[in-house]
Amino acid sequence: MPKLILFVACEKVIIDHQQLPSLINIFQRMQIKLPDAPLPEKALSPVRWDAFALWQHTEEEVGRKFTQRIEALTPDGEKFLEAKVVFGAVNNEDLQSKNTFQLFGIPINQEGKIRVITWLGDDENPVGEYYFSMKHLPKEKNEQSPIISAAE
């Protein structure tokens, strides 16, 4: 079975012409200034983001197909997204697979840790987990809309 080398959530993954990944703004802490009005129960910030996984294969795995599943959970444990991809090493020249999940929306109505989990195939035990935090900041005078940013 492939070995998970890296699993992170970030603002964006860029794959260059040589198929090499660059990870932009790896998520750690997010802060949001909320409006005075109450938010809907499942409010999402309209942010596009990526989850990235790097897998190491053995030569015996070349040509085989594997499935990676991910889920993201709110701070109170409710699933707000899920996705899966089929992947594998295609030749002995590159025994790594790189999977990028392009996602949309980050829940903003709860403070705490957002958990992103990944599995290989139908296994019940996760092979990787990644956490980043969401913190609410007081709104400044004359601010109208929510503003989300990475913490300094």
Residues with pLDDT less than 50, the chain: 152
CATH number at residue 24: 2.60.40.10
Q: What is the pLDDT of residue 74?
A: 96
The letter for the amino acid at 95 is: L
The letter for the amino acid at 71 is: E
Residue 127 · residue 70 · CB < 8 Å: no
- pLDDT one-digit tens code per residue, 5-39: 999 999 999 999 998 999 999 999 999 888 777 88
Q: How many domains in the chain?
A: 1
Q: State which residues form the domain around 66.
A: 3-150
For CA atoms 132, 85, 17, 1, the dihedral sign is: positive
The letter for the amino acid at 122 is: D
C-alpha 34/C-alpha 47 separation (Å) is 15
Q: What is the pLDDT of residue 37?
A: 76
Q: What is the pLDDT of residue 129?
A: 98
Q: Give the angle subtended at the CA of 26 by the CAs of 6 and 61, to the nearest 5°.
A: 20
